[in-house]
Amino acid sequence: MPFRLLAETIDRLELVSSRTQMVTLLANLFKNTPPDVIDKVVYLISGSLWADWKGMPELGISEKLLIKALSLAYSVSERQVEDLVKSAGDLGKAAETLKSRSQGKVSLFAFTQSTTRELTVSEVYNTLVKIAQLQGEGSRDLKIRLTAGLLKDASPKEAKFIVRFIEGKLRAGVGDATIMDALAVVYGGGASARPIIERAYNLRSDLGEVAKILATQGLESLKGIKPEPGVPIRPMLAERHNDPREILAKAGGEALVEYKYDGERAQIHKVSNKVIIFSRRLENITSQYPDVVEMALSNINAEDAIVEGEIVTYNRDTGELLPFQELMHRKRKHDIHIAIKEYPVKVFLFDLLYLNGEDYTNKPILERRSALEKIIRETDDFMIAEYTRTSNPDELEKFFMQAISEGCEGVMVKALHKDSVYQAGARGWLWIKYKRDYKSEMIDTVDLVVVGAFYGKGRRGGKFGALLMAAYNQEKDVFETVCKVGSGFKDEDLDKLPDMLKPYIRSSKHPRVDAEIEADVWVDPVFVAEIIGAELTLSPIHTCARGILKPDAGISIRFPRFIMWRTDKRPEDATTSRELIEMYQRQLKKVTTKAPAEGEV
């Protein structure tokens, strides 16, 4: 397949903002893609070479090395490349310009004597994979030569795409949801195929692999996909509510109520005598928890199993559970043996997704829980999460307060009816969070995505003093602005922001960001932060749920305050626009039904 087709599609995608137009462009690309390379096309258009969870090496080419590669490819000095980058605005445009100039210098005789050769998708993909896998002595120079070779053979548009891909700055603005929509159109006959494709993706977490199976074996083959030990499943998500009576009503009357621990959600895969642990972002975190690996090997009585739980650190002297922030010390790459002693952990298991060849995600929760309890040998540090069954709101509230008193965030309420399956990658009323933060000023904290930054004034002059935060709109696959947050940050938090944001700063807002407010600096939607505020309000300058509650107004947060970074969450795991609508409506209902105090009119 000519690489030109992919580069041209990326070029067009940069110019459109409509989701429908994006799906149409991608569908046209997929129709012209041979089935044997559809996975490579999906990876490249997503800005990656493979599924992130595989933990494969990165390309390892800095801006400085890219400048050297451009210099080598187009026979210009590095200073000339640097000057062009400054005037063009970015390396991708500079590459496009340099290639155009180099073509113009080719004589008519040289052109007619040469045989024109088109780059193919496989050639570009395989070369990039080779570059990523190069390590050791001499790898730096070889990376430069291989990159220069690609750029030399590329057309101007192809060169721009290759450089931006290597930089990690694709501007296509295409999310997984949009790609799945296009795959459904081409290979599934329309939107009715989308749920089948999405379920397969949620069980395998590899959209390239799913696309390859779909294109080569057909839609029916995806229906038979089940979990595979060693391959992370996209975690099921929960709705949130703050009224025990309504929570139980939404859950169907009776519910399983579990402690919601303040730790790191972990998906533990036991494959014979090997254990792999994935975070909620599907990152392989096995190396951070060698003690949990030993616990799992000793206490999961199964050949192959996938269980889910929460890893929580605690005070070894008192047994008191400690907050999530303390657990983050386990992120250190060195001296993990010291971290194990300083921050010991307990594992609280709450679900079973796979057992000895059988898919448990499509079974009701009581069947999953029963099977989980049968294969787990409970110890002081490895156990089933504390839980109860109830249909009584007062009992739910009492259990909630008990959970809080024992150092938990709150409780998770789970429906018990026959349809209470494990909805991988989905958010719904089968699981409902009831957290202690609901008792706070804004009912609950929210998790928002950084999409822009503002320079500070006074003591914060010369550095970032506030961030533009956004919620995730699942239906549109975009991030909609909610607030500008500048309080709650410690000085060290602000000092780290420039280095933290630098790789993701862009000259214009990301295509998946819906914003009317103008940030000083735009940022790729990568980082998630937990935010609290005084109340939810309506704002004419923010785009979250704009026009749904009031014409020309969106939802915002009054007096927002930063709490902490949520490194365990992907941008798509952030609080959704729909959740904020529901939170606002509950807040409004609470205010309007409140009895007036003495003296109030």
In what helix (H) or strand (E) does residue 258 lie, and over which residues does it extend? strand 255-260
Relative to beta strand 382-384, strand 345-355 is parallel
- What burial class does residue 487 get, using C-beta atoms within 10 Å of its C-beta: 0-12 exposed, 13-18 middle, 19+ buried? exposed
CA atoms of 108 and 216, how far apart (whole Å): 44
Relative to beta strand 410-415, strand 427-435 is antiparallel
CA atoms of 236 and 423, how far apart (whole Å): 5
User: How crowded is residue 117: how many other Cβ atoms within 10 Å of its Cβ?
Assistant: 8
What separation, in Å, do the N-terminal and C-terminal C-alpha atoms of the chain show?
73
Two tokens at 473?
């709109």
For 322, phi and psi rounded to 5 degrees? -105, 160
Which residues, in sequence order, are bridge partners of residue 270? 275, 305
In what helix (H) or strand (E) does residue 455 lie, and over which residues does it extend? strand 446-455
* Residue 40 is a catalytic residue: no
CA atoms of 240 and 203, how far apart (whole Å): 24
CA atoms of 14 and 259, how far apart (whole Å): 45
Catalytic one among 260, 363, 509, 569? 260
CA atoms of 147 and 131, how far apart (whole Å): 8
Q: Are 561 and 535 in contact (CB under 8 A)?
A: no
- What burial class does residue 276 get, using C-beta atoms within 10 Å of its C-beta: 0-12 exposed, 13-18 middle, 19+ buried? buried
CA atoms of 395 and 401, how far apart (whole Å): 10
- What burial class does residue 599 get, using C-beta atoms within 10 Å of its C-beta: 0-12 exposed, 13-18 middle, 19+ buried? exposed
In what helix (H) or strand (E) does residue 3 lie, and over which residues does it extend? helix 3-13
For 346, phi and psi rounded to 5 degrees? -120, 150
**Of 473, 472, 475, nearest in space to 449 by CA:** 472
Q: Considering Cα of 384, then 226, then 367, then 435, what sign does the dihedral take? A: positive
Q: Are 214 and 222 in contact (CB under 8 A)?
A: yes
Q: Annotated catalytic sites, by residue? A: 260
